[in-house]
Amino acid sequence: MRYSVIFLIGFFMLSGCKEDSSGNNQRALDSVVAQGSSQQGHWSYEGETGPEHWAEIEAGSDCNGKFQSPINIVKYKENTNLKPIALYYANKTKIHDVTNNGHSIQYNFEPGDYIVVNGLRYDLKQVHFHEPSEHTIDGVRYPLEMHLVHINDSGQYTVIAVMAKEGISSIPFEFLESFLPLKPGENKIVDFPFDMNDNLPENKEYYFYIGSLTTPPCTEGVNWYIFKEPITVSLEQVELLKNLMPVNNYRNEQPHNGRQIYVSRD
């Protein structure tokens, strides 16, 4: 166990150094806040601008790196040293706006919500969706995956992934989708508070690994926390997002390349 902790700490240190030296931090920050609007580059999820060509399209990006995301969450090891994620989501933090950026439906948050990871504060910037899920868990692909993208003062990323399965209609999703539909490139001001806690599973156990952003510039050194327990949304709620986003707006799983995946325990 001691060596697992040392390995984990070392990986954090290496990932931080890589981001500082890559020169992609500001570009990646812009990409995360806007998540690849239709005016930013010409990448897509299919054909000659699909994921297999992202490294060519995005010169200087990490899209051809060794530690990319998403991955299949498999062969994970229990690590009792992993602590619960310190979530500081308030019921008064406002969603500023929602946009259909041509790649996903994205809700941009005003300052207020944040998490603390290893003593560092990461502010919630935006939430977006992939249909079906990008990560698979033991080879299982869920109908929907929600990404909560957080950034710290050094420009480093922590992303919380929440899987969704078809079931009972989600009241928080009803609120989010009440501002839809939006055409590609369209933006709508929301200016309403939203309690992100209501959109999270009750069980906060998670899988952890270090990977990358799943869209160009595919910046590496990203801390990924993937909740084990999915939330439920209705088929109609999944279909609404599906009809507004590109078909299959997910990147295929990437090689592990020796990375260790950990699983927390309450």
What are the beta bridge partners of residue 9?
none
Q: Evaluate whether 106 touches 35 at the Cβ level (below 8 Å).
A: yes
103 is catalytic: yes
**Which stretch of 11-15, 45-49, 131-135 has the lowest confidence by average pLDDT?**
11-15
pLDDT of 42 reads 85
Judged against a pLDDT cut of 50, whether residue 64 lies above it is answered with yes
Task: Say whether pTM exceeds 0.95.
Answer: no
* Mean pLDDT of the 42-67 span: 94
pLDDT of 217 reads 96
Structural domain span for residue 120: 2-263
pLDDT per position as a tens digit, 104-120: 999 999 999 999 998 99
pLDDT band for position 41 (50/70/90)? low
pLDDT band for position 164 (50/70/90)? very high
Judged against a pLDDT cut of 50, whether residue 6 lies above it is answered with no
| Sign of the alpha-carbon dihedral angle for 14, 67, 101, 178 | negative
Query: Pairing relation of β-strands 120-130 and 220-227?
Result: unpaired
pLDDT per position as a tens digit, 170-226: 999 999 999 999 999 999 999 999 999 999 999 999 999 999 999 999 999 999 999
**Which stretch of 40-54, 67-81, 113-127, 219-233 has the lowest confidence by average pLDDT?**
40-54
pLDDT of 265 reads 82
Q: How many domains does the chain have?
A: 1
Residue corresponding to tokens 């009241």: 171
* Mean pLDDT of the 69-87 span: 95
pLDDT of 266 reads 66
* Mean pLDDT of the 153-160 span: 97
Judged against a pLDDT cut of 50, whether residue 39 lies above it is answered with no
Point out the catalytic residue in the list 53, 96, 103, 130.
103
CATH number of the CATH domain containing 68 = 3.10.200.10
